[in-house]
Amino acid sequence: MKGNEMETKIKFDDYYIIAAGILNGEFDEYLDGMMQTIKSRMDALAPKATDYNVGDRVRYTSNTRPKYLAGEQGTIVQINRTKVVVQLDRPCGRFRGRITTPVNLIEGI
């Protein structure tokens, strides 16, 4: 096994040991702290409006509602504190231009 494969194998095995321990109640006294740590990490990994720039091309993801927006493309024309404004390339359903969008519903293209 090469270096990266070994590290991945160890992490994979560690995950299952920890997951089994959680399911078996071995970490019950630590669950609150574990949940806070996991939430903090997920927040750190979540996309932020500051990850984008005006002019960036984006696509709506499959998490988008209404579903007919999924796959539609546009350009970021404004960045707000937690959302961006996307100018659609073409009208789509009831949307005819700019949409203020949470960043977890788009991906860069």
Domains assigned to the chain: 3-45 (no CATH), 49-108 (2.30.30.30)
Terminal CA-to-CA distance of the chain, rounded, Å? 35
Q: Is the pLDDT of residue 44 over 80?
A: yes
CA distances from 100 to 27, 35, 81, 97 (A): 42, 31, 11, 10
CA 83, CA 8: separation in Å to the nearest integer? 35
Q: What is the pLDDT of residue 27?
A: 94
3-state secondary structure of 85: strand
Residue 27's contacts (CB-CB under 8 Å, 6 or more residues apart) are 18, 21, 34
The answer to pTM > 0.75 is no
* Residue in this structure with the two tokens 């409006």, named with its chain if needed: 49
Convert the pLDDT of each residue in 54-107 to its tens digit: 999 999 999 999 999 999 999 999 999 999 999 999 999 999 999 999 999 999
